[in-house]
Amino acid sequence: MTQLSVNVNKIAVLRNSRGGAEPDVCAAATACLGAGAHGITVHPRPDQRHIRPDDVLAIARLLDARAEFNIEGNAFAPARGSYPGLLALVEATRPAQVTLVPDGDTQLTSDHGFDLVADGARLKPLVAAFRNCGSRVSLFMDADARDIGRAAEIGADRVELYTGPYAQAHASGEFARELDLCVRAAEDARAAGLGVNAGHDLSQRNLPALKRAIPFLAEVSIGHALIGEALYAGLDATVRAYLRLLA
């Protein structure tokens, strides 16, 4: 079965908009796990627009190996203020998985994957450093990337397919081309010995077609749509709905 990791960044966005401690990201993570989610994802950024370093530490203590912890982030971004850098956070928490994403402060959200021709040499020692922490490493990649197999050469264990273009096409009703790109990328990655994850803008509407087309998906990381849907149905019911789709 494809694993579901729930991204709780949006819980932190809502908290930060008001200040204080509510809604509580650990309480939200606990609710997701109680409904059957296999793991929790966070994506701390240097500008701390949502998940903060203290949240990362708190969630790590909460999970304590009872469920998978996936930390996403830009390994190239330097420490800033109270943000110690991605490697320092991983060294302190030892998550099951680290997903490296080439995002920056000017991006509202992650909107592209790595160019391994340009970034491969810089990534290789960083991938090794994260793996030395005992973490599996996944690289965020575009579905139309021609060099997706290079991720294995760099030392990564998995790739996460950026599914934003697929989700956008699905909403328009014309998504065969984008779905085919995802399938080809997944097959190329698997042929290179890589596990395949997927994430970004996945929802209950577009996830079934992706899952049918790529039955060997190891994990999906879903946050924005799931939290939005949970506003109407509740976290427990929404997480359970996703698990039924993945089964």
Active site residues: 43, 72, 200
Q: How far apart are CA 182 and CA 220, in angstroms?
A: 13
Geometric angle at alpha carbon 233, from 229 and 235, rounded to 5°: 75
Q: How far apart are CA 213 and CA 181, in angstroms?
A: 11
Buried b / exposed e over 93-126, threshold 16 CB at 10 Å, is bebbbbbbbbbeeeeeebebbbebeebbeebeeb
Task: Using alpha carbons, select from 139, 129, 65 the residue that is nearest to residue 95.
Answer: 65
Q: How far apart are CA 123 and CA 138, in angstroms?
A: 12
Q: How far apart are CA 91 and CA 130, in angstroms?
A: 8
Q: How far apart are CA 10 and CA 108, in angstroms?
A: 13
DSSP letter at 192? Answer: T
Task: Using alpha carbons, select from 106, 104, 227, 210 the residue that is nearest to residue 162.
Answer: 210
Furthest-apart CA atoms within the chain: distance in Å: 48
Q: Which helix (H) or strand (E) holds 15?
A: helix 9-18
Name residues whose C-beta falls within 8 Å of residue 61's C-beta, 6 or more positions apart in sequence.
none
